[in-house]
């Protein structure tokens, strides 16, 4: 079984065989086939290796974190941390003051 696979790999040719192909042309086709298979396997290995080593990102949403949790997250993920600030810590009426004066138009 193993010998059969080895002999097949030695004679595999992905090009069409023509009646007028010379021995030299068949040798060139065998070399080109082997080169193609080797480069294909190297590319496939590189692609699988790259895909397995890439970092997978996931979004985690933490609602109303404590100050210490936020500081720890900021230390670990300062480049990617997003804080949408849906709730302000100081109410607007505490730092704004509207005094309306009406003036008579003459």
Distance CA(36)–CA(39), nearest Å, equals 5
State whether residue 29 is helix, strand or coil: helix
Confirm whether pTM is higher than 0.75: no
Q: Using the 8-state DSSP alphabet, how is residue 56 labeled?
A: P
**Model confidence over 67-76: pLDDT tens digits?**
888 889 889 8
Distance CA(17)–CA(52), nearest Å, equals 39
**Model confidence over 20-74: pLDDT tens digits?**
778 888 888 888 988 999 999 999 999 999 888 877 777 888 888 888 888 898 8
88: pLDDT strictly greater than 60: no
User: In this predicted structure, what is the pLDDT of residue 38?
Assistant: 92
Cβ neighbors of 62 (< 8 A, separation 6 or more) are: 69, 73
- In the chain, where are the structural domains located? 2-53
């Amino acid at each position: 079984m193993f010998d059969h696979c080895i002999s097949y790999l030695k004679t595999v040719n992905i090009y069409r065989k023509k009646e007028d192909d010379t021995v030299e042309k068949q040798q060139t086709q065998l070399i080109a086939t082997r080169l193609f298979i080797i480069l294909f396997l190297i590319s496939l290995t590189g692609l699988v290796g790259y895909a397995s080593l890439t970092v997978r990102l996931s979004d985690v949403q933490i609602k109303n974190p404590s100050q210490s949790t936020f500081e720890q997250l900021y230390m670990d993920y300062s480049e990617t941390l997003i804080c949408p600030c849906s709730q302000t810590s100081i109410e607007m009426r505490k730092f704004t003051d509207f005094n309306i004066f009406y003036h008579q138009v003459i």
